[in-house]
Structure 1
Amino acid sequence: MEENGLVIFFSVPFQMFTNSDEAVINKKLPKELLLRIFSFLDVVTLCRCAQVSRSWNVLALDGSNWQRIDLFDFQRDIEGRVVENISKRCGGFLRKLSLRGCLGVGDSALRTFSQNCRNIELLSLNGCTKITDSTCNSLSKFCPKLKHLDLASCTSITNLSLKALSEGCPLLEQLNISWCDQVTKDGIQALVRSCPGLKGLFLKGCTQLEDEALKHIGAHCPELVTLNLQTCSQITDEGLITICRGCHRLQSLCVSGCANITDAILHALGQNCPRLRILEVARCSQLTDVGFTTLARSDICCFTPLNQITDGTLIQLSIHCPRLQVLSLSHCELITDDGIRHLGSGPCAHDRLEVIELDNCPLITDASLEHLKSCHSLDRIELYDCQQITRAGIKRLRTHLPNIKVHAYFAPVTPPPSVGGSRQRFCRCCVLL
């Protein structure tokens, strides 16, 4: 057996796997080696092995095999008692548990879980809508090693949960409270003051958050790498500039749907966040080419721009972003073949660019595909709703890039009105070319 993988015993005679406790495999292999083999199995396979024999039942249900459990692809309609039984079986062995989408799990079961599994480091309760602040109180009291916690869509969570976590889980590195819309600046303040190692904070849909909350994050989270503020509609430039100045390690920022922000944010990011690689700004209608030009000169490698973007931004990207790998130009209705020409001739095109999204860019034609032929690393291109792109143009591109994945569709021509005056409707046909 290899250290990094499992060697399957294809040559072992079938009788070694019979349901007898005297099966040859149990005699030939020591318990420690069997446990090592079992440690590579998923939840479903472990449960099946537990039914083979009494000795395999003991091996399969050994707590050391249950350090990582994800029930999402196995069973989501579980009741609280199942979580309680898991916690009693795993005890201190369990490090990672995902109960994502388990709607039947509530505070009582998670209190028992917290008491039994005190070494838990990663816990996902995404979509467990029955839980309340009581669960976070239990985690705070019994689980001091917790590092990653996902509470997305747990809408009963309030500031009390964040205050409890700040008191008992100082090692917290990643917290997802998206759509917990009762959270305000007071909860954020308590959390960030006691958890200075936070690296990922997901606040999508926390609509009560204002600039004051961002000021606390900027002042107390120097290690922050990922921040999601999607649809936090009350925030403005003032709060985000504080984030830029205090979180110099920031690599990913989502402010889509934050309509109050302006080019001042792009300038602040360019000046203060040299590691930024992903910026999502959909529906931020006040951002312009001027701001994105500044940002391009700061060597940001991947961002999602807007329909105000023009060829000028692409020219700046081609000059100042030699490491550009992923570029989304979806719904950038002003860009033309000339902008793609500059991009295709830039330094990133030959060695780095892997994905370009051009869906809903009405001015793009087959000429753009000609300009992209020299992008030897290009793996995927999106062309949905590019009405001037043709099958022939895609075919020519694939002669130069035979392994490229092209996502496009071609709608059939709508026929003329029938005698009755009505028009027959045709569905657009989406294809992977």
Structure 2
Amino acid sequence: MAALNIDAEEIEVFSTDPAVLDASSIVEPDVRPKRKRTRSRLLQGLQSNLSSPSLARIGRARSSSSPYHGPGSFSCVSLASNSSPFGQPSPGYFSVISPGGLSTAPTSVPGTPGFEYFEGAEDMLVSRKLTNADLAAATSAAASSLTVSLPAEFKPKKGVFTIWEHLPRELKIHVLEFMQPRELVLVSAVSRQFHELCFDGQLWQSFDASEFYTEIPAEALARIIVAAGPFIKNLNLRGCVQVEHYKRAEVIVRACKNLINATLEGCRNLQRTTLHSLVRNNEGLAHLNLTGLTAVTNTTCKLIAQSCPSLELLNVSWCKHVDATGIQAVIEGCSKLKDLRAREIKGFDSQDVAQTLFKTNNLERLLLSGCADLSDKTLKTIVHGLNPQIDILTELPIVPPRKLRHLDLSRCSSLTTSGLKALGHLVPNLEGLLLAHCHGLTDEALEVVIGTTPRLTHLDLEDCRGLTNRILSEHLAKAPCAPHLQELCISSCENLGDSGMLPVIRNCQNLRSLSLDNTRISDLVLAEAAAMVRRRAQRTEESSKRPQIGLSMVVYDCQHVTWTGVREVLSRNAEIRSRHKDRSQQQPQQTFPTEIIALKCYYGWNMTVDEHTKRVLKGDLAAANRLERKWADYMQANEEAGAGGAGGRRRRRRAREAQMAHADEEEGGAGVGVNGGGGRRRARTAACIVM
């Protein structure tokens, strides 16, 4: 008790036991003297309270006793009217905890026996008013006391890959399938689990190194192929110069033993022994591309015929050490071969090779472009065979029709009309025929072929100078293949012009590509092509829908094509038409194009045409029409400026103004039409030529 520092002037001690109170300590309220008690008298009063038998007689139940144990201490409780948790006022007092842990202070409300009202208590024990902050604190405390925490088994575990860890392995592999090979290699370094998943065989069935081989070193590329080698089925090393070293190539070849498709085009220094090992180790090869490899010889072809019975595609184009004898061995050994590509291979003047090609009759694609040794006799043997039986009525050989669907005889300079006529009536499934740079062909050579190939979609007659307009207007335009024709090339055919092309464009409604450069066509062909695209394409009422390129035309170096025809194409591309759905509609409905023409014309105009096409494809038809109109004003003024006679100065001034306006449109007008803001003009002189 000596350790307590209590000021006797600030606090008064009272007892609730009548035995303790005497007459000297009680005075009347109005005559009570204000005297100061010393520290000693205060301590004496406390000791007398402790020794009072009334305090020992009045006790609290154990359930309401103080939870704190230890030596005696003071407890101060507020006497606020509503501070008791049980809804009853609790008087403020100083209580002393007994050494046994049970409080001997009275806990009853006023009126309980053992408590008498002490005069002056109003001045000493003042009730405290509760504020909003106190109520909010009490509410939060009560709410927190009612909160119950979740059991440990229901609490979420902390971790970055919680969902990933619970996914099945199949789903993890499916997610990783969307990554590129380079990304898989980077992800494999995250952990052992990711390393195992990233090198799963399902992810490396197709390995295309042509897209990223320049971004990784050669050693890393070799390690990837070695790690995934047993699972790789489609291998593409096109242009990968990293595998030129024989040691890296040998490692790759030893690792890959289940290949189905293999592309080694561009691996120029690949050793012959390494290539032969690759062929021996992969008996299931179906597609093999060896374009331009110097290691390929006739021995390689014989090894392919022995080791790859399931081969369907072989590409040995531009292999200098291979001739038709090696091709013959592959055809005889690979009965499933359907696609043979042997561009610029020598030795096709052999009748034995031609007879072998005739006997197989499994080829659907035959590319012999640049085979200068291919003659008319050899081509007849490939189609008719040796000494076929001739039908008396039709004068046609009685042989099974060929299964060819695509035939490329471009740059076979030895072919003439008599050799090409052999294809008539015997290639009914032909879809693509390429005869570019065959100068010996005439109309007679193509009449029978075009008339007996109803599925023809691609026809290339570039630089066939012996053709005339009759083959186009009388045969191609009326042929059974006219509704299916999609691509036509007559570039550098100087004898072909409007009389041949106009019927073709009218009847061939599905044309997607026209190459007409260096011909005699004029603006009429351009106008007819624009009208054809306009007729076949359905227009849309949605202004936000972007048009697509429906026809690509090449018309540069055509003397009779002027800017008027080019303008006709541009105006049709950006045309906005108005129509009434019914008579009751007051305002017409606007329609927009869905297909346009991509035009490649004279190089001086092509910059404007390309910019116009860009604006149309973006859907900004207003800006495209403005560009077309200003370009037409410029071209018209330019023509007037070049004319002689009176008014030459005025025409030249108009030409300069139109030139400046067109230059503004080319440099900053795109921004004005699209985004609504102009650009800064570039300084120029009057002598600047735009077009």
TM-score range, shorter chain: 0.7 to 0.9
The answer as to 2:367 corresponding to 1:195 is no
- In 1, are the aligned partners of 2:346 and 2:372 still within 8 Å (CA)? yes
| CA-CA distance at 1:53 after TM superposition | 4.0
User: Does residue 282 of structure 1 match 2:440?
Assistant: no
Secondary structure at the counterpart of residue 428 of structure 2: coil
Q: 1:123 to 1:51 in 2, by over 3 A?
A: same
Q: Please report the TM-score for the alignment, with normalisation by the length of structure 1.
A: 0.83
Q: Are 1:294 and 2:294 an aligned pair?
A: no
Q: 1:112/1:129 Cα in 2 relative to 1: closer, same or farther (>3 Å)?
A: same
Contact 1:141–1:168, Cα closer than 8 Å, also in 2: yes
Contact 1:80-1:108 within 8 A present in 2 as well: no
Q: Distance in 2 between matches of 1:94 and 1:181?
A: 29
Secondary structure at the counterpart of residue 340 of structure 2: strand
1:55-74 residue pairs with structure 2 within 5 A? 55-74=193-212
* 2:369 pairs with 1:369: no
**Equivalent residue for 2:293, pick from 154, 177, 196:** 154
Deviates more, 1:112-121 or 1:60-69: 112-121
2:554 pairs, out of 373, 382, 398, with: 382
Among 312, 330, 334, the residue aligned to 2:470: 312
Q: Distance between the aligned counterparts of 1:223 and 1:303, measured in 2?
A: 23
Q: Which amino acid aligns with 1:267?
A: K
CA distance in 1, matches of 2:250, 2:198: 26
What is the deviation of 1:192?
0.8
Identity of aligned residues (%): 30
* Distance (whole Å) between structure 2 residues aligned to residue 56 and residue 21 of structure 1: 16
- Output the CA distance in 1 between the equivalents of 2:218 and 2:440: 48
- Residue 303 (str. 1) matches residue 459 (str. 2): yes
Q: Is the 8 A contact 2:312 2:338 kept in 1?
A: yes
Counterpart Cα distance in 2 of 1:198 and 1:160:
18
CA distance in 1, matches of 2:459, 2:379: 17
Structure 2 unaligned regions, length at least 5:
1-157, 386-400, 538-549, 574-592, 606-637, 643-665, 667-691
Residue aligned with 1:282, SS: coil
Higher RCO (CA < 8 A, seq sep 6+): 1
The aligned counterpart of 1:341 is: 502
Q: Deviations over 1:165-212 (max 9, x none)?
A: 111001111111111121123212211111011111111122344334
Corresponding residue number in structure 2 for 1:408? 601
CA contact (8 A) 1:139 1:165 kept: no
The correspondence of residues 125-136 of structure 1 with structure 2, limited to 5 A, is 125-136=264-275
Provide the C-alpha distance between the structure 1 equivalents of 2:339 and 2:506, rounded to a whole number of angstroms.
36
Using a 3 Å threshold, how does the CA distance of structure 1 residues 85 and 301 change in structure 2: closer, same or farther? Answer: same
User: What is the match of residue 50 of structure 1?
Assistant: 188
Counterpart of 1:251 in structure 2: which amino acid? R
Structure 1, gaps ≥5 residues long: 1-19, 417-430
Indicate the RMSD between aligned Cα atoms, in angstroms.
2.7
Structure (1 or 2) with the larger CA radius of gyration: 2
CA deviation profile, 1:219-253 (whole Å, cap 9, x unmatched): 34322111111221111012222333477111112
The structure 1 residue matched to 2:323, chosen from 179, 184, 187, is 184
Q: Does 1:325 align with 2:497?
A: no
SS at structure 2 position matched to 1:248: coil
Task: Quote the residue 2:252 is aligned against.
Answer: 113
Listed one character per residue, the Cα deviations across residues 57-116 of structure 1 (whole Å, up to 9, x for unaligned) are 332222221111111121159777556533432233211011111234245544443443
> What whole-Å deviation, never above 9, does each CA across 1:250-278 have from its counterpart, x for those lacking one?
11122222111011233222221111122
Matched residue SS, 2:226: helix
Of residues 118-127 and 249-258 in structure 1, the stretch that sits farther from structure 2 once superposed is: 249-258
d(CA) in 1 for partners of 2:330, 2:191: 49
Aligned residues: 392
Partners of 1:296 and 1:103 in 2: how far apart?
44
Alpha-carbon distance between aligned partners in 2 of 1:366 and 1:194, rounded to the nearest angstrom: 55
Cα 1:343–1:224 change in 2 (3 A) is same
Distance 2:292 2:407 in 1: 20
How far apart are the structure 1 equivalents of 2:178 and 2:460? 39
Q: State yes or no: 1:354 paired with 2:512.
A: yes
3-state secondary structure, aligned to 2:532: coil
Q: Superposed, which structure 2 residues align to 1:10-25 within 5 Å? A: 23-25=161-163
Q: Report if the CA contact (8 A) 1:197-1:221 is conserved.
A: no
TM-score when normalising by structure 2: 0.53
**Residues 343, 370 of structure 2: 8 Å contact kept:** yes
User: How far has the Cα of 1:281 moved from its partner?
Assistant: 1.8
What secondary structure does 2:211 align onto? coil
